[in-house]
Amino acid sequence: MRVPFLDIKAQYQDLAGELDQTALDVLRSGAYVLGPHNKGLEEEVAQMHGVRHAIAVNSGTDALRILMEAAGVGPGDEVITTAFTFVASLEAIVQIGAVPVLVDILPETFDLDPAAIEPAVTEKTKAILPIHLFGQLTDVRAIETIANRHRLTVLEDAAQAIGSHCEGRYAGQWGRGAGLSFYVTKNLGAIGDGGMILTNDAEVDANSRSLRVHGMGRERYYYDAVGYTSRLSELQAAFLRVKLRKLDEWNAQRDRIAQVYLQQLAGVEGIHLPKLHPGNNHTWHQFTVRTSRRDELQAFLKEREIDSMIYYPVPLHLHQPYARFSGAPGSLGVTEEVSRQVLSLPVHQHLSEAQIEHVVASIRAFAASPAAV
């Protein structure tokens, strides 16, 4: 039985009639940029995350770049973050001229280790960029305390964390702002690229709105900053609004599948299951296990037609363009070990009961098999 890692076509099928009609409506409206669907999407996501402002942009990467600039992070400023993330987190920091300072992660939640932050603070440190990886927030309470003590700005990479909160306080409410991604494979995915900045800060809001259209001020063709072309297309905004109405249902289904994995795989030898920080919900953008027999497990699953993915196989400080931002290999020991152990299992909302059972039974069979020497 084949178990695909994702099923993008099934998402379309769930909503086909509405999406088709939406495309036609937008085409016929002639309003293709910064139109009513952009405004509507911004209002709906702001409301969902309990923030005052949401600014739709072209991608999650742009959301991070623009957010950091809007919050006053600039050339030479140090930004504390991790190397266990998608490349865009670091790319955004480097592209605005700031300097990523990479610290180690916690192995069970895959995110920034709060104990590693303070030793990394220098007089140049401006911000902390926690990455809310795989669908749950980082240890936001600890990060907030440290940031307050050192007067640092917290900016959240929430690209994988739409709908994620700690005790009801959503991404975007913990830092001065957060960046979301609507890339195709995200829990809320566009039909292409898209992103959004969330903030309660009026200055970050105003700066972000200006930066997404070339740094234009209130008056047309007068510029306050060197900006970007980063509007979200009206077509994408309209599609995202249709899909947003399904997001709670889809995330609930992901959670149901994750709970089956957590129950059925508990205690299976050699398989470490993901953990949650206290107070967090989890939106299961990824369900990621750790095992010292990772490559063997992936091959075993593949033989049984179960797709799996390695997020992320090589931490970013071991890639040539980012090597200068860390010490020698081994300096981020937990990050490097976790990269050798992680495997993400299919957890999308369109899995059938039989497919879920097939994944569970296969992992159990694997664990009972002797390790290759």
Ligand X SMILES: Cc1ncc(COP(=O)(O)O)c(C=O)c1O
Q: Provide the residue type at 174 as one letter.
A: W
User: How many CB atoms within 10 Å of residue 231?
Assistant: 19
Per CB under 6 A, the list member of 100, 189, 195, 227 interacting with ligand X is 195
Q: Please, which residue, 55 or 265, has the CB nearer to ligand X?
A: 55
Q: Does 187 interact with ligand X (rule: CB under 6 A)?
A: no
Q: How far is the CB of 349 from ligand X (least distance, A)?
A: 19
Residue selected from 57, 159, 232, 347 as contacting ligand X according to rule CB under 6 A = 159
Nearer of residues 283 and 362 to ligand X, judged by Cβ: 283
Dist. CA 340–CA 194, nearest whole Å: 31
**What is the nearest approach in angstroms of ligand X to the Cβ of residue 64?**
6
Instruction: State the virtual CA torsion across 280, 313, 318, 177 in degrees, nearest 10.
Output: -30
Q: Is 270 exposed, middle or buried (0-12, 13-18, 19+ CB in 10 A)?
A: middle
Q: Which of 84, 86, 322, 325 binds ligand X (CB under 6 A)?
A: 86
Q: Answer yes or no whether residue 322 interacts with ligand X by CB under 6 A.
A: no
288 counts as binding ligand X under rule CB under 6 A: no
**Residue 59 found at the interface with ligand X (CB under 6 A):** yes
Single out the segment in contact with ligand X by CB under 6 A; choices: 137-145, 152-160, 207-215, 290-298: 152-160
* Cβ–Cβ under 8 Å, residues 81 and 102: yes
| C-beta of 193 vs 336, nearer to ligand X | 193
Q: Of the two residues 312 and 366, which places its CB atom closer to ligand X in the complex? A: 312
Q: State the CB neighbour count (10 A cutoff) for residue 23.
A: 15
DSSP 314: S
By C-alpha distance, which of 228, 289, 226 is closest to 258?
289
Indicate whether 315 belongs to the interface with ligand X (CB under 6 A).
no
As measured in angstroms, the least distance from the Cβ of 295 to ligand X is 23
- CA atoms of 271 and 266, how far apart (whole Å): 8
Of 111, 119, 115, nearest to 82 by C-alpha is 111
Comparing every residue's Cβ against ligand X, the nearest one is 60
- Any residues with CB less than 8 A from the CB of 52 and at least 6 apart, and which? 46, 199, 200, 202, 205
Q: Which residues touch 132 (CB under 8 Å, ≥6 apart)?
A: 111, 138, 156, 157, 158, 159, 160, 161, 164, 171
- Does 136 engage in binding with ligand X (CB under 6 A)? no
H/E stretch holding 308: none
Q: Which of 45, 57, 60, 197 binds ligand X (CB under 6 A)?
A: 60
Residue 34 neighbours by CB distance under 10 Å: 17
Q: What minimum distance in Å lies between the beta carbon of 343 and ligand X? A: 17
Site string for ligand X, 222-261 (x = CB under 6 A): ----------------------------------------
Nearer residue to ligand X within complex by CB, 89 or 355:
89
Residues that bind ligand X (CB under 6 A): 59-61, 85-86, 88-89, 131, 157, 159-160, 181, 183, 193, 195
